[in-house]
Amino acid sequence: MVTEISKNNLIFLLSAIGLIALPHVKHIAPTVFAFFCLMLTWRFAGVWRPRWLPNKALLFVLTLAGIFLLYSQHQGILGRDAGTRLFMTALALKLLEIKQQRDLYLIVYLTFIVAASQFLYEQNIFMAVYILLTCGVLLATLISLNNTKQDNVLALKTAGVIIVQALPIAIALFMLFPRVEAPRWMVFKDPHQARSGLGDSMEPGSISRLGLSDERVFRVKFAGALPPKNQRYWRGPVLAYTDGKHWKQTQSRFADARRDKIKAQGRAYQYTIMLEPQDKNWVFALDMPTHFADDLSMNANYQLTTHKDPNRRTEYRMTSRLDYNTGEITPDEYRENLQLPKAPIDKIIALVQRLKGFDTAPETFIQALMQHFRQEDFHYTLMPPLMEDKPIETFLFEKRLGFCGHYASAFVYLMRVAHIPARVVTGYQGGEFNQVGKFLEIRQAHAHAWAEVWLQNRGWVRIDPTTAIAPERVEQNVDIEQQIASGAVSFIESDAAQALSWLGDVRQLWGSLDYSWQRWVINYNSANQARFLSSFGIETLRQMLYWLMAIVAFITALLSWLLLRGKNNNTDKVLIVYQRFCRKLGKIGLRRKPGEGAVDFACRIKRACPEHAPAVDVITGLFVKLRYGRHPTQNDWLKLKKQVALFKP
């Protein structure tokens, strides 16, 4: 019956369940979470009013309601969200049918599964600490269930001691146990989870919307010095086809591998990029990548793609050089990058003629067009006006307000009108430098678009029209918080960036801790494990297992010695004091027989000396508690010592 279960234990358990389930409020459907909260509240009320709990008929109706909720949120048999909703609903219903103590054990184990499911959504330090603490409360609940005499505070202390004792072995297993990578088909993906970011097409305003996002895209750690700020272009999709409004990637008909044609020189920048989960297989590299891992490939537009699962956070090591020549292009590539949706209007033709685009060298026309943007009444803004109809013509001759996408698309369009092969390149520019961890953080707000033109003897050359209007966009740090707050673009000087407020310092410290956590804990896969252990001379699986067994055996022996040593010392002190009590009785002829227990000896003493019965009971009770009891205290030891000292037969 429910009344046989300790109220304190039940309240303790229900509180732990509530804490563990709380983070799922932002992970599962509101209706399912509301159902769980209702059942938990109902179960709380039943602690004091057992008659309010549902009978079998009502519980059956509630079960049908839970099944209906799951069916209404149905998104497939397998998957993270489907499994989490199922466990949450099952746990909620099980709370209402607690009848005996074994039901509590089942609920505790089910709650541990719900706690573990949190890591399917969030794997940061905060969540790890939170789940560790809440699981400590759950472990304390198990301790209380097995020892009804122990209060909850002492159970929490015992749970903390157990966790601290288990941590060294857990760390050893984490570092040395062979990492088994799940096959790709076993990784459950959620097709309904949308991720924002760059797409394989661009239209007016698409990139400016990303400028208001603080979402992290990737982090970069350089082996040496960082490249100049105005050279930190992270290459993404290349857009060559346009219908006058949209720019899209094309199905390249030329060779996929172009690395052999690239002639790169100058300083080689070596770095490691940690890419956040995304729904595209793109890897953003510093323009131009020359060396990269075998699991990456370069397409005809010099964009890197990965063969790994993009839904998982992954690290890549690569090398880039900023000074490069891509060489000649094929006839098909030449025609593709001169494509126009229709003949340009007269005002466009007149503008190109005025800037000498038809009768001068391409380099001269590029300079003239950049000067045109610089001298005319063009402005850079994160919130450009809508230009649905003929966006390029409207931008050039009417609005003259735009973000990087407007300038890049207009520039490429005018280049093509002048018969100069050109295309739009999207990606990210710059990055926020973390002074604590010494790495760059690139967020969606750093999304950028620029142009590439093909020039004889130079290959594809990057031209960023944005620098003609807002050179600070690529030369200084973007104040992302200010952008989000005001919807405008704000830049801060590098000197001022060093004098950040304490909030900024805390954010950078947290970012550095999170980066280390992601690199050394979350991304500790078989490859990283092999690299880490090889630095200690551990190369083979057999060596790993030998080291693992040796470390676990050492930790176990050390903990056993510490635990037994403390217990023996405490036992010896108690036994010495009790033997002093026995020697006092021996002086009057009452000697303890071999094998005689303390309780039996006390009974014999009380029969022989009834006047000493109260003192004998106190001393014997304290001795038994200190030597054989579950939770003796220091006060018990001091009391025993005092009673023996006062005892005078």
User: Residues 122-143: pLDDT tens digits?
Assistant: 888 888 888 888 888 888 888 8
State which amino acid sits at residue 272.
T
Neighbours of 378 (CB within 10 A): 21
Mean pLDDT of 432-455: 88
What confidence score (pLDDT) does residue 221 get? 92
What is the pLDDT at residue 587?
A: 86
| Window from 214-218, 302-306, 565-569 with minimum mean pLDDT | 565-569
Handedness of CA 373, 377, 380, 381 (dihedral sign): negative
Q: Give pLDDT, residue 224.
A: 85
**What does the pLDDT read at residue 412?**
93
The residue with greater pLDDT, 366 or 144, is: 366
Residue 191 pLDDT: 44
Token reading at 485: 């707050």
DSSP H or E stretch at residue 336: helix 331-336
What local confidence, expressed as pLDDT, does residue 70 receive?
82
Tokens of 159: 């749970």
What dihedral angle (degrees, nearest 10) is formed by the CA atoms of 154, 155, 161, 165?
160
* pLDDT beyond 60 at 547: yes
The segment with the largest mean pLDDT, out of 154-158, 348-352, 502-506, 568-572, is 348-352
How would residue 513 be classed by pLDDT, with cut points 50, 70 and 90? Answer: confident
Above 90 in pLDDT, residue 80?
no
Of 284 and 154, the one with more pLDDT = 284
How many angstroms separate the most distant Cα atoms in the chain? 128
Looking from the CA of 587 toward its CB, the CA atoms found within 13 Å total 8
Give the separation between CA 349 and CA 351, rounded to whole angstroms. Answer: 5
For the ranges 179-188, 377-386, 401-410, the lowest mean pLDDT is seen at: 179-188
Selecting among 287, 464, 479, 514, the annotated active-site residue is 464
pLDDT over 80 (residue 203): no
- Supply the pLDDT for residue 570: 54
Confidence class of residue 466 from pLDDT cuts 50, 70 and 90?
A: confident
The top-scoring range by mean pLDDT among 177-186, 314-323, 521-530, 559-568 is 314-323
- Residue 460 confidence (pLDDT): 92
pLDDT > 90: percent of the chain: 16
Q: Per-residue pLDDT averaged across 611-631, rounded?
A: 85
464 in active site: yes
Share of residues in the chain with pLDDT > 70 (%): 85
Output the CA–CA distances (angstroms, integers) from residue 511 to 216, 294, 504, 514, in the order listed: 11, 29, 10, 5
pLDDT at residue 418 in the model: 92
Amino acid symbol at 51? R
pTM for this model (two decimals): 0.68
Place of tokens 């001691």: 161
Question: Concatenated DSSP letters for 212-245?
Answer: T---EEEEEEESSPPPPGGG-EEEEEEE-EESSS
Q: In this predicted structure, which of 365-374, 433-442, 558-567 has the lowest mean pLDDT?
A: 558-567
Q: What is residue 481's predicted lDDT score, i.e. its pLDDT?
A: 45
Q: What is the pLDDT of residues 421-439, one digit of tens each?
A: 999 999 998 888 888 888 8
* Parallel/antiparallel/unpaired status of strands 422-429 and 201-202: unpaired
Q: What is the pLDDT of residues 278-301, one digit of tens each?
A: 888 899 999 889 898 888 888 888
Q: List the strands of the sheet with 296-298, edge to edge.
A: 282-283, 304-306, 296-298
Phi-psi region at 173: left, alpha or beta (left = phi > 0; alpha = psi -120 to 50): alpha
Q: Is a pLDDT exceeding 50 seen at residue 617? A: yes
Contact 632, 621 (CB under 8 A): no
Q: How far apart are CA 9 and CA 15, in angstroms?
A: 10
Which of 25-29, 143-147, 416-420 bottoms out in mean pLDDT, i.e. has the lowest? 143-147
What is the pLDDT at residue 180? 66
**Span 471-487, pLDDT tens digits:** 765 555 544 444 444 44
For the chain, give every domain's residue range. Answer: 2-176, 201-510, 550-646
Q: What's the half-sphere exposure (Cβ side, CA atoms, 13 Å) at 481?
A: 8
What is the C-alpha separation between 434 and 421, in angstroms, rounded? 39
Report in angstroms the alpha-carbon separations of 338 from 334, 343, 460.
7, 12, 14
Residues recorded for the chain: 649
Residue 54: the pLDDT is 87
- Mean pLDDT score, 309-330: 87
**Residue 315 pLDDT:** 87
Tell me if residue 448 is catalytic.
yes
Q: Which pLDDT score, from 0 to 100, does residue 256 have? A: 46
pLDDT at 475: 53
* pLDDT at residue 112 tops 80: yes
Q: Is the dihedral of CA 403, 404, 405, 407 positive or negative?
A: positive
**Cα–chain-centroid distance for residue 470?**
35
Identify the pLDDT of residue 414. 93
Lowest mean pLDDT across 113-117, 310-314, 344-348, 360-364: 310-314
pLDDT in tens, 160-184: 888 888 888 888 888 888 876 655 4
Q: How confident is the model at residue 50 (pLDDT cuts 50, 70, 90)?
A: confident
Chain mean pLDDT for the chain: 81
Please say whether the beta carbons of 564 and 558 come within 8 A: no
300 alpha carbon, distance to own chain's centre: 33
First to last CA, the chain: 51
Task: Give the H or E element holding residue 119.
Answer: none
* DSSP code for 268: E
By the 8 A CB rule, do 141 and 108 touch? Answer: yes
Q: In whole angstroms, what is the distance from residue 429 CA to residue 452 CA? A: 15
The one catalytic residue among 27, 448, 479, 612: 448
CA 403, 405, 409, 411 torsion: positive or negative? positive
Q: At what angle do helices 7-21 and 152-176 cross, to 10 degrees?
A: 40
Among the listed residues 24, 27, 81, 404, the single catalytic one is 404
